[in-house]
Structure 1
Amino acid sequence: MFDIALIAFLTAFFCYYVQWTFGQPMIEQPLGAGLVAGIVFGDITTGIMIGAALQAIFIGSVNVGGATSADTTAGTVLAVCFVVHFGMDQGVAIPLAVAAAIFVNIVYSLIFNVITSFWAPVIDWAASKGDKKSIMLCHLGGGVLMNLLLAAPTFFAVYIGAEPAAQLMDMVPQAVINGFNAASGLLPAVGMALLLRMLWDNKIAVYFLLGFVMVQYLGMPMVAIAAVGIVIIVVSALRELESRDLRNQIRTLRESGVSAGATTVAEIEEEDFFA
């Protein structure tokens, strides 16, 4: 059990450290953490599937400043560990991962808002020396210390709670497990609702309608829909660039004060109107 807990701990630590030390490549998100956990635990397919399911749940969850919502890295690593090593049903592991992510967020907030504040004098010391090596050591060393603390709950969750959780699942009736499976299927809808609540705008509502029609009535796969979305983005961007260039031309002609350019300005404005 200690070995599995240590592997889970190092997996979470790797995701945290890469995320906060190397420019936030979003590896802490469920898709990234699920892939890393799948590679480490020897089941990439399961890792990606769990990561995708949790990504849909937390897709509208954003940490802003001191306000945090859930620690998706810990939840994803725990879910992959429970499913691969302890044989837990995926439909049961996902709701447990959501609960774990919300609970671990308390430790996450404590570390970021309290413990890391004690590192400020060390940062000031490194900056006052003006030595690049001291600043780099402070940066990397602080990252190691902080992310070790962030990954600690993952270790204890596996070391202390994995076996009792697996034994408890063996005692749970199948009807309850089916309820967990149904709940895990509904959770992604909650995540999408949270995302729509932030993004919804009457100007882009037609694109949501287009996506619904493509899925429900045309039966198009997600890859094809994503490709159509990319085409729409490119076309919209090109039109916006063209409109911006036309507006810049109009501004330049008006600022030049050349009366002979009046006809040209009118033509450009007409072209901009029909663009």
Structure 2
Amino acid sequence: MIAEIASVSFIGGLLSLDVSAWGQIMVSRPIVCGPLIGLLLGDLKTGLIIGVLLELIWINVISVGAAIPPDATIVAVTCTTLIILTESKLSLGSDFHGSYRMVVLALTMPLAEFFKTIDVKQRKLNARFVHYLDREILKGNLKAVGKVNNFSLFLVFLRGFLFSLVAISVGVYILPKLFSYLPYAMLVGLNFAYRLMPALGLAIAFNTFRGL
């Protein structure tokens, strides 16, 4: 499992680059990175299901210009990985798989806002790099431009890698134990809520494109 967590975290770091720092070819969208993580972990079906659900929920969240939206990519990577790695190890009846997935979804979605906060702080750090570059360019050191750009990209990758690594490593051990303490009535309710998630996602999608 350690190798799988490390591999997924590495992919999470690469996908973080696509959000706004480099590329922006939309491979970081949940509908793409969910199945990608599922394929890597040997469960493409679960990856596709979670990716589609999260894409519908976050379909109106797009990084445009200087805007810093909640990071749906880190949620998709973390949520998909945790479900695939831990769900099969739980003794769940067919009626409670949805309950467990709902718990994982509910606990990983707030990570989007937390990751956004880290992103804001990192962009403030980039402003310091700009002032440093101004001084280096005035000195005639044009090579500093490429070095600083590459270092900034590395920091974005490192942020995504470390965040994914910590979140998944902690979640793998905490989520199954937490789920075992939930009462039966709550499990039934969570399973029903999970079945309604596609409807919620479609409602968000319809509302987003209603005025177009």
TM-score range, shorter chain: 0.7 to 0.9
Over 3 Å counting, the alpha-carbon distance change for 1:23 and 1:127 in structure 2 is farther
Residue 45 of structure 2: aligned partner: 45
CA-to-aligned-CA distance 1:110-161 (integer Å, 9 cap, x gap): 323x233232234446765474x65443323211112212332222112233
Question: Separation in 1 of the partners of 2:47 and 2:77?
Answer: 9
Residue number among 150, 154, 169 corresponding to 2:164 in the alignment: 154
Instruction: Give ranges in structure 2 of 5+ residues lacking alignment.
Output: 91-99
Matches within 5 A, 1:1-275: 2-20=2-20, 22-65=22-65, 67-87=67-87, 89-112=100-123, 114-124=124-134, 129=140, 131=142, 134-201=144-211
Over 3 Å counting, the alpha-carbon distance change for 1:10 and 1:57 in structure 2 is same
Structure with greater proportional helix content: 1
* Structure 1 residue 57, shift from structure 2 partner: 0.9
Amino acid at match of 2:127: S
Over 3 Å counting, the alpha-carbon distance change for 1:74 and 1:143 in structure 2 is same
Amino acid at match of 1:108: D
Between the aligned residues of both structures, percent identity stands at: 22
Deviates more, 1:153-162 or 1:74-83: 153-162
What is the TM-score with the length of structure 2 in the denominator?
0.76
Over 3 Å counting, the alpha-carbon distance change for 1:111 and 1:169 in structure 2 is same
Give the total of aligned pairs.
Answer: 200
Over 3 Å counting, the alpha-carbon distance change for 1:2 and 1:121 in structure 2 is farther
Deviates more, 1:99-108 or 1:26-35: 99-108
Residue 259 of structure 1: aligned partner: none
What is the TM-score with the length of structure 1 in the denominator?
0.61
Over 3 Å counting, the alpha-carbon distance change for 1:25 and 1:126 in structure 2 is farther
Instruction: Give ranges in structure 1 of 5+ residues lacking alignment.
Output: 205-275
Q: Over aligned residues, Cα RMSD in angstroms?
A: 2.9
Higher relative contact order (CA closer than 8 Å, sequence separation 6+):
2
